[in-house]
Amino acid sequence: DPVEDKLALLEFVNNLPHSRSLNWNQSNSVCAYWTGVTCNEDKSRVTAVRLPGIGFNGPIPPYTISRLSALQVLSLRSNLISGNFPSDFANLKNLSLLYLQFNNFSGPLPLDFSVWKNLTIINLSNNGFNGSIPHSLSNLTQLAGLNLANNSLSGELPDLNLPRLQVLNVSNNDLNGTLPKSLERFPRSVFSGNNISFESVTPNMPPVFPPSSESYPKPKNSGRLGETALLAIIVAGGILGVVAFAFLILVCCLRRKREDMLSDKLQKGEMSPEKAISRSQDANNRLVFFEGCHYTFDLEDLLRASAEVLGKGTFGTAYKAILEDATTVVVKRLKDVSSGKRDFEQQMQVVGSIKHENVVELKAYYYSKDEKLMVYDYFSQGSVFALLHGKRGEDRTPLDWDTRLRIAIGAAIGIARIHLENGGKLVHGNIKSSNIFLNSKKYGCVSDVGLTTIMSSLAPPISRAAGYRAPEVTDTRKAAQPSDVYSFGVVLLELLTGKSPIHTTAGDEIVHLVRWVHSVVREEWTAEVFDLELMRYPNIEEEMVEMLQIAMSCVVRMPDQRPKMLEVVKMIENVRRLDSTENHPSPGNKSESLTPPQLVVGTESSTSSQ
Ligand SMILES: Nc1ncnc2c1ncn2[C@@H]1O[C@H](COP(=O)(O)OP(=O)(O)OP(=O)(O)O)[C@@H](O)[C@H]1O
């Protein structure tokens, strides 16, 4: 246990009256038991303190919190803390996220913000801070969110040249003067309730994220319906439900009959099974298994397997194939491979050599002139896309916040791992939720690695993939690591909002998720983007806002302004270290302790959940 940190925390809590009791027992381990406290991996230091709504009343006792010099996250929001901004916080050099909103702080803001070089989010809103906004904020190069709304700050807004700043709010203060050039990119609403003049602002200046020609729904009240409409929907839903159920039973009955041999399935394409089987005898056209793969079937067995189409993707069709010994695999049949055998095999070797628990392992491949196949483990739970958007109504199992966090961190680590491959040049090229699965530890795991380089170039599709594609990717072969970061940002938004990247509203409006989220956030500092399904979990709002910031930094327009995947991993790890005892148990039961995946080149492969 971090003894010194423990003493500092005890001094803090014993000297600050509070109305809710904390289980901070001196004889218990800080890292394992104390509510709101998170430690680093080796449990030598406290790295996060989150104590929102504890009823703390009075000034922060000096020289207590400030002794936690390894602290990265400090949240004391929604308390009754008064007094000045503690000057000894200058010792917290590693601070990355600072939440002190909704308290009774007063006095000036710290003059020198440059002591906190790692700050990414500052929320000091809804306090009584006065004086001017310090210019030193512009030294915070990592800053992505700054909320100073609802204070009594006065003077002029400094020229804050912070390219990473995504969300700003200084509304409802006593600020005056003209809006500095560097802040013109933010919507006017974030400056409202002040005396700021927008004189210098060029009229009709395009916003940073130009609204699309496609319309998106109004962020506010868009989801509210009248009672009659609601009733009509419920009745219609009921009828539809019955019809859908009957249809489902019919489909299930027919399905068994429809399951064909994989060879028949392939034959329905361009190639006869006989041809394929005869090729399997050709030593040059064998099914090539990768080292460590325990499968024993050959191409013939595979073609004899009963198969079911899982879906048609950008690069071909995926089949679920069940072999005679009940082994279930996924066979991906590629169409439009542009590279020759040598390049194809080389790329397969690169992909097949990645053995990491957050990357779906390529088990085998097959190459012949007419046929290119890839073999993977089968993930019975389905993809993250299916988990998020699949079943609705009664059949639906909500995807809880912990699972979404695990998916995010796992997938981020998987992509970062892929980016280390091939001399740090490998690109995934097709990150989307239907290519992310849950590994045996329920962390995200990325599939479909590196196909873009061997396939013919494709113009941006109108299909589902379009919503994930970075704006600079005009054809699939132009994908690069920053465009993977963009696509991952879209997946994060999908996890946070529960919405598909491109979807239509009831009124048939096409909604582009990235633009929609921008439009909501632009309107105000708001929680309206979050999936309603997540609202049942207590105390996760802050983590969701942090994730939203990360997602927004990934989907910025300019590729060079996006963080590198390794940075994204660190940012997500900061949201919550998943190795600590859970601070946010799911309703009803306490979550188990989690072991996060590591980025290091692992030998453990992804394990499908069969
Ligand atoms: N190993 C797997 N286990 C279970 N389902 C899978 C597996 N691989 C793919 N699928 C599912 O099969 C369907 C088709 O996959 P496929 O990868 O061919 O297309 P896609 O993901 O929709 O698009 P893209 O080709 O652009 O990746 C998807 O729903 C996908 O989630």
- Predicted pLDDT of residue 174: 94
> Which are the contacts of 159, defined by CB distance < 8 A and separation ≥ 6?
135, 138, 180, 181, 182, 183
Q: Encoding tokens for residue 200?
A: 């210098």
Half-sphere exposure of 543 (CA within 13 A, CB side): 27
Is 318 in contact with 383 (CB distance < 8 Å)?
no
d(CA 12, CA 56): 10
237 CB less than 6 Å from ligand 1? no
Predicted confidence (pLDDT) per residue in 453-472, tens digit: 777 665 555 455 678 989 88
Is 8 in contact with 64 (CB distance < 8 Å)?
yes
Nearest CA to ligand 1 atom 22: 313
448 CB less than 6 Å from ligand 1? yes
Sign (positive or negative) of CA dihedral 342, 343, 345, 349: positive
Nearest CA to ligand 1 atom 20: 313
Q: Which of ligand 1's atoms lies nearest the C-alpha of 318?
A: 18
Is 544 in contact with 534 (CB distance < 8 Å)?
yes
Task: Give DSSP secondary structure letters for 383-436.
Answer: -HHHHHHS--GGGPPP--HHHHHHHHHHHHHHHHHHHHHHHHT-------GGGE
Q: What is the mean pLDDT of residues 423-452?
A: 91
Q: Encoding tokens for residue 465?
A: 């993939």
Identity at 371, one-letter amino acid code: E
Q: How many Å lie between the centroid of ligand 1 and the Cα of residue 391?
A: 17
Is 490 in contact with 514 (CB distance < 8 Å)?
yes
Q: How many Å lie between the centroid of ligand 1 and the Cα of residue 313?
A: 7
Predicted confidence (pLDDT) per residue in 284-300, tens digit: 557 888 877 777 777 77
For residue 445, what are the CA distances in angstroms to 276, 511, 548, 564? 32, 27, 21, 19
pTM: 0.60
Identity at 336, one-letter amino acid code: D
Q: How many Å lie between the centroid of ligand 1 and the Cα of residue 501?
A: 17
Q: How many Å lie between the centroid of ligand 1 and the Cα of residue 533?
A: 25
Is 510 in contact with 212 (CB distance < 8 Å)?
no
Q: How many Å lie between the centroid of ligand 1 and the Cα of residue 431?
A: 11
315 CB less than 6 Å from ligand 1? yes
Half-sphere exposure of 372 (CA within 13 A, CB side): 20
For residue 58, what are the CA distances in angstroms to 50, 107, 149, 332, 467? 18, 14, 22, 63, 49
Annotated binding site for ATP: 332
- Predicted pLDDT of residue 270: 41
Q: Encoding tokens for residue 212?
A: 């699309």
d(CA 262, CA 267): 8
Across the chain, mean pLDDT equals 78
Q: Determine if residue 161 is left, alpha or beta; phi over 0 gives left, psi from -120 to 50 gives alpha, anything else beta.
A: beta
Predicted confidence (pLDDT) per residue in 164-186, tens digit: 887 788 999 999 999 998 888 78
Is 153 in contact with 126 (CB distance < 8 Å)?
no
Q: How many Å lie between the centroid of ligand 1 and the Cα of residue 240?
A: 28
Predicted confidence (pLDDT) per residue in 310-367, tens digit: 988 777 889 998 887 778 899 998 887 777 888 888 888 888 888 899 999 998 888 8
Residue 426 has pLDDT above 60, yes or no: yes
313 CB less than 6 Å from ligand 1? yes
Q: Which of ligand 1's atoms lies nearest the C-alpha of 332?
A: 18
Max mean pLDDT range (211-220, 293-302, 376-385): 376-385
The torsion angle over the Cα atoms of residues 392, 395, 398 and 403, rounded to 10 degrees, is -110
- Pick from 214, 229, 232: which is nearest to 503 by CA? 214
Q: Which of ligand 1's atoms lies nearest the C-alpha of 379?
A: 3
Predicted confidence (pLDDT) per residue in 23-69, tens digit: 898 898 998 888 888 888 889 999 989 887 788 999 999 999 999 99
C-beta atoms surrounding 76 within 10 Å: 25
Which of 435, 490, 500 is the best mutation target for the ligand 1 pocket, counting ligand atoms within 8 Å of the beta carbon and taking the most?
435
Q: Where are the alpha helices (DSSP H) in 259-376?
A: 262-267, 273-281, 299-304, 341-352
Place of tokens 């003209």: 178
Annotated binding site: 332
484 CB less than 6 Å from ligand 1? no
Nearest CA to ligand 1 atom 23: 313
> Which are the contacts of 298, defined by CB distance < 8 A and separation ≥ 6?
280, 286, 287
465 CB less than 6 Å from ligand 1? yes
Q: How many Å lie between the centroid of ligand 1 and the Cα of residue 350?
A: 20
d(CA 143, CA 137): 9
Nearest CA to ligand 1 atom 13: 311
- Predicted pLDDT of residue 323: 80
Q: How many Å lie between the centroid of ligand 1 and the Cα of residue 384?
A: 10
Q: Which of ligand 1's atoms lies nearest the C-alpha of 315?
A: 25
Nearest CA to ligand 1 atom 1: 378
Q: How many Å lie between the centroid of ligand 1 and the Cα of residue 359?
A: 14
- Pick from 144, 209, 149: which is nearest to 575 by CA? 144
> Which are the contacts of 594, defined by CB distance < 8 A and separation ≥ 6?
402, 406, 578, 579, 582
Q: How many Å lie between the centroid of ligand 1 and the Cα of residue 352?
A: 18
The 8 Å CB, 24+ separation contacts for 386-391 are: 386/434, 387/438, 388/433, 388/494, 388/495, 388/498, 389/498, 389/500
For residue 513, what are the CA distances in angstroms to 376, 422, 471? 30, 32, 13
379 CB less than 6 Å from ligand 1? yes
Q: Which of ligand 1's atoms lies nearest the C-alpha of 448?
A: 27
Identity at 467, one-letter amino acid code: G
310 CB less than 6 Å from ligand 1? yes
- Predicted pLDDT of residue 507: 66
38 CB less than 6 Å from ligand 1? no
- Pick from 277, 330, 289, 276: which is nearest to 307 by CA? 330
Instruction: Name the more confident of 2 and 296.
Output: 2
Predicted confidence (pLDDT) per residue in 238-278, tens digit: 555 554 444 444 443 334 444 466 766 666 654 433 344 34
Q: How many Å lie between the centroid of ligand 1 and the Cα of residue 309?
A: 10
For the chain, the straight-line distance linking the first and the last C-alpha, in angstroms and rounded, comes to 39
Predicted confidence (pLDDT) per residue in 460-519, tens digit: 554 556 789 898 887 777 789 999 999 999 999 999 999 989 877 666 677 889 988 888
d(CA 371, CA 12): 68
169 CB less than 6 Å from ligand 1? no
Q: What is the mean pLDDT of residues 76-105?
A: 91
d(CA 222, CA 298): 55
Is 348 in contact with 365 (CB distance < 8 Å)?
yes
Nearest CA to ligand 1 atom 4: 379
